[in-house]
A and B are shown apart, each in its own frame.
Chain A
Amino acid sequence: MRKEVRISGFGGQGVILAGVVLGRAAAVYEGYNAVQTQSYGPEARGGASRSDVIVSDEEIMYPYVRRPHYLVTMSQEAYDRYAPQVREDGLIVYDSTLVEPNEEHDVEHVGVPATRIAEEQLGLRIVANMVILGALRELTDLVSEEALKRAVRDAVPPGTEEVNVRAVEQGARGVRE
């Protein structure tokens, strides 16, 4: 098992943190190998910031994502840039509040209104990253729900653990329904 994940969006939406949480869940709580890399500098400040995670049960040598199995995207610019790179048998999870999918990309798509869920159900727009991460986990089973929640608690600012864990749960519910 070796899966390449790209989480992308605007700088400031927390896409880097989402990648770190996923990598941590896999590496610390599931015993997998995981490598997380990200865009830096000017590249990270526009509308196509990215956080890449490779999860594998074998050693990960070359650390960069080449063709994602899973693309999570929270901005149109990131969608437009990264959707063509997704493997044919891959999956695109997009924030349907912000992204209009393009039918030309013949890959399975799942839309989750992550930003709307964050605003309306959690009262905090900024946890949309955890909503969509919860949705990704539910769809892919990359890591267990328990592992993901533990990693969320480790990684988010103190005092915000509960709202972030609820965001993960709401994201999972969003794709189950």
Chain B
Amino acid sequence: MSGRVEFLQGNEACAEGAIAAGCRFFAGYPITPSTEIAERMSERLPEVGGVYVQMEDEIGSLAAVIGASWAGVKAMTATSGPGFSLMQEHMSFAAMTETPCVVVNVQRGGPSTGQPTKASQSDVMQARWGGHGDYEVVALAPSTVQEMYDLTVECFNWAERLRVPAVLLADEVVGHMRERVILREDVETVDRELPEEGEEVREPFPLEPDDLVPPMPVFGRGHRVHVTGLTHDERGYPATDDPEVHRRLVRRLCNKVRKRARRIHESVGYDLIERESDLALVAYGGCARTVLEAAEELNATVFRPRVIHPFDPDLVRRLLDGYEVLVVEMNLGQYVEMIERALDAECVHALEYPGGYPPTPERVIEEAERLQG
């Protein structure tokens, strides 16, 4: 890993990762605990020829990002819980129009305005199902400041590969802490596939095969493409009355992500520390730091996914079948529901820990010992 060594906040590292990934447009409405991302982007983007816009609200922010993306620019916004809620209309629109973009959600306690300065992981389900309709996104959860940098790059790369909104599902723990980070120079970046310039794109939204990611036309380059949130046929024109068109369209929107779940998990990576134990701890994001420490003390196996969505039940089954599993998360039980789907639900337990801080390692150890009787 070569690059400049820095001591930064996770949010600052996220902004640097975005620049390194090729992001040249940011529209946002600053909100705690994500504000430092907007702040740093406002300084950095003009230096690299990019554009920063402070919008009137979060609805407009994601709308502007979607527009920038269709103009051929890698674009991002950053927010927290309440702002993420406001963005859901456009998460759904971005999914339907197959617009690559990155949405950072530095989660804080909710519902509603909740705990602005405190940590939470209660938007796990919202990241996937916050908007209406059948769609899939990619959502990644960083546990270190280095991962705030690296996984921001991964979010851009998967957004570009799959033409989906990608969510960096961060939390206040990693957003605000400072750590050493290497601002890598050897970042691998991915650019969306484009049609030939000036080429007339007759079928910008093919319906088959069901996992296809079509090349993305760029506004202003002569492709004459119609883009709509309505159910559309291959040509991009509304076809709202044909059940078969709708079925095939939403199946492809989902399958282009679902069918690549294993590839995404393998490419982004996960931690699996196997120990001689019947107990496996599962955690992600800032909360995983507690759990990694507790697992060492308990001599327990630990699984830390970086990819939250799409979930890969086969992978989880392969790694964790046969263990008593304890899922630790800063909410009242969200990721644990996915784990329950993959494993024998009777073997899956939860330490649900909302409130603003991750549990201490001692708290996790206590819970594990109680579980083991």
B residues near A, CB below 8 A? Answer: 5-7, 32-33, 116-117, 173, 176-180, 286, 289-290, 292-293, 357-358, 360-361
Contact = CB atoms under 8 A, between A and B. Distances in A.
A62 B7 contact: no
Contacts of B7: 20, 23-24, 27-28, 34, 36, 151
Size class of A's contact patch?
Answer: 20 to 34
Given A27-B5, A38-B176, A62-B358, 4 more contacts: A24-B7, A27-B7, A40-B33, A62-B361
A62 B360 contact: yes
Contacts of B177: 35-37, 63
A63 B117 contact: no
Nearest to A24: B7
Nearest to A38: B176
Contacts of B173: 63
B33 A61 contact: no
Given A37-B177, A61-B289, A62-B290, A43 B5 contact: no
B293 A64 contact: no
Contacts of B33: 40
Interface of A: 20, 23-24, 27-28, 33-38, 40-41, 43, 60-64, 66, 151
B178 A20 contact: yes
Given A41-B32, A66-B360, A28 B178 contact: no
A61 B290 contact: yes
Contacts of B289: 61-63
Contacts of A35: 177-179
A43 B178 contact: no
A61 B292 contact: yes
B180 A34 contact: yes
A38 B176 CA distance: 8
